[in-house]
Structure 1
Amino acid sequence: MRHFRHPLTLLAFAGLLVLAACGRGGGDERPPEPGDRAVARVQNQTIWASDVKREAVAQGLVGEGEPLDVTSDLFRRVLDEVVDQKLLAREAERRGLDNSALAQRRLEATRERILGDMLVENVVNGAISDQAVQTLYQEQLRLARTSEEIRVRLILSRTRQEADAVIGILGQGATFEAVAQERSIDEATRYSGGDLGYSTIDVMPQAYANALRDAPAGTTVGPFQTEGGWAVLRVEDRRRESPPTLEQARPQIVRYLTYEGVRQLLEELRGKAEVEVLLAADDRQAQEPASAPAVAAPAPAAAPATQPAAPAPASKAAP
């Protein structure tokens, strides 16, 4: 007996109905992509390696540009899901579930979504060149050179008196790390000697940023009050922020360029198209479609044992 590895989303199911409906004529045995490979056949319909890769990408199991080895356990698991999906789609067709008006509307909506994705792949993604990625990366490098990272250690106390005592102990020659482990109330850092690691001024709480803005490496700052207590800081190091490499930054840059490309494409298409929204801004009486789940009416409140008489309506002044 077969068991489903993962529950199917309605969107994935509808998408497969679209594909199944398009392939009723017997299917095309030509590889959909150059170098593609047939990996299974369900009732004379071929499943290609690219079909499995597309499903894995849709589930977020691999990235768009990442390889998926056909011999891997992940590939076999996703292949099994694609087979199950196609079997469900064929059974839905056999029962005529794709013939209703609602099914046709949902299938068309999925078809439009797929075509929109393909337009983005062809128009937007095709315009994202290595030169565009390199240009944006250099701009980010230029901005990063103006940022400075600071490595800080923290001793957090409950009161000003406790914080002053910490300053006294440090003045007697005790190491900051040892005092942090013994006296700091910040459980997240005390066992690492109060080490907060490297960060930039702009992401620090305002009280920390104000205290550290001009403090050189090797100095102790504080005590000053914060939301968590009274803080004493030691500036371990100051350095220019280390930017990511081009390869590290590439996925984020590509996502940004894709978003910008889609935004510009939609602006252009909306500028050419006639779009009319039929709902008024204050339309509060819109009815749910007949397919919407019914909302149970609230149960009437129990009447009190003795109901007070209703007040008489206020008399209206004659016009």
Structure 2
Amino acid sequence: MAVRLAAVLLAVSVAACGDNPEKLHPDAGDRVVARVEKHEIWASDVRREAVAQGLIGDAEPLDVASELFRRVLDEVIDQTLLAREAERRGLDKSPAAQRRLEAVRQRILGDMLVESAVDKAVSDEAVQRLYAEQQRRAKRSEEVRLRLILSDTRAEADAVLALLGQGTSFEAVAAQRSVDEASRALGGDLGYATPDLLPPVYAAAITEKAAGSVIGPVEASGRWAILRVEDRRAETPPTLEQARPVIVRYLTYEGVRQLLEQLRGKANVEFEIDPPRSAPQTPPPVSTAAAAASSPVATS
């Protein structure tokens, strides 16, 4: 799995990395799609530019026969022409150009190191291991399946209750009398939900009510509800595939965080400026707040 931390990769950076296609273009199935004088443009160059512009996702393929590929290829050709002309005029020799080219080179090399580290951190085995740990530590709540008949007035709700008392099926009354458009066509079926996802008055009304119980009328937001508890069950845990995106994101953040922590621990970093007074003396190398917030592992 490839991970990009840099938002933009400049096409001019290719010229600063040498001319060995074996090193520059390791992508499987890569091929030259254009030449600008002696400079080769590879399909992977075009795809990376499309990713950098946000035209496709990082893991999304780009068909060389597509209109999008041709449009981005034209942009890469233009950029290459501009870079070659800048070299011809000697602009790449200026100190400012050298600093900017070196910054791009460092960004690319940093991206490649991160990709390598994440490839090791985010494996199928690691995902499965973390998923199993999550399932072991997670505390399951209960899911309740409800049916609903919603009325505009208390009198209408009482009339509904009377019909149900006469033996009329809940589903039939819901289909005929409920003003809740979403559930009426389903016989009032609201499906399974944990109590915290229900309106608070519904959740309070069905507390400890067994399957088959009819509850109400219950006032909710100016309307009146009759509820029936269809079923109670333990909350269904997410499948591995459902949990995978969150787990992969967590492992990615952890892999990058640990790598930077190791590098910072070995390196001698000296600041030539004072940090802002409101900031800590040594700010963390990468924010892990998002990773912590999306961590799939329970903390208790």
Structure with the larger RCO, 1 or 2 (CA within 8 Å, 6+ apart): 2
The reply to whether residue 41 of structure 1 matches residue 34 of structure 2 is yes
Partner of 1:178: 172
Query: Is contact 2:34-2:40 (8 Å) kept?
Result: yes
CA distance 1:210–1:259, change in 2 (3 Å) = farther
Superposition pairs for residues 111-260 of structure 1, below 5 Å?
111-143=105-137, 146-227=140-221, 229-260=223-254
Give the one of 10, 14, 17 matched to 1:15: 10
Give the one of 93, 99, 120 matched to 2:83: 93
Superposition pairs for residues 74-93 of structure 1, below 5 Å?
76-93=66-83
CA distance in 2, matches of 1:165, 1:105: 80
Q: 1:113 Cα deviation (Å)?
A: 4.1
Structure with higher helix content: 2
Query: Is contact 1:42-1:83 (8 Å) kept?
Result: no
CA distance 1:233–1:130, change in 2 (3 Å) = same
**Which consecutive unaligned segments of at least 5 residues does structure 1 have?**
1-10, 283-319
CA distance 1:188–1:254, change in 2 (3 Å) = same
Query: Is contact 1:55-1:78 (8 Å) kept?
Result: no
Aligned length: 263
The reply to whether residue 28 of structure 1 matches residue 32 of structure 2 is no
Query: Is contact 2:121-2:252 (8 Å) kept?
Result: no
Structure of larger gyration radius: 1
CA distance in 2, matches of 1:220, 1:241: 22
Identity of aligned residues (%): 51
Normalising by structure 1, report the TM-score. 0.66
Q: 1:155 Cα deviation (Å)?
A: 2.1
Normalising by structure 2, report the TM-score. 0.69
SS of structure 2 residue aligned to 1:233: strand
Partner of 2:289: none
**Which consecutive unaligned segments of at least 5 residues does structure 2 have?**
1-6, 280-300
Query: Is contact 2:205-2:215 (8 Å) kept?
Result: yes
Amino acid paired to 2:35 = V
Query: Is contact 1:149-1:199 (8 Å) kept?
Result: yes
Query: Is contact 1:42-1:86 (8 Å) kept?
Result: no
Report Cα offsets for 1:71-116 as digits up to 9, x if no partner: x57x634432441231221243256497688877766655444333
Cα RMSD of the aligned pairs, angstroms, is 3.6
Amino acid paired to 2:195 = I
CA distance 1:18–1:228, change in 2 (3 Å) = farther
Amino acid paired to 1:29 = P
Report Cα offsets for 1:143-164 as digits up to 9, x if no partner: 5672332222222233333333
SS of structure 1 residue aligned to 2:185: helix
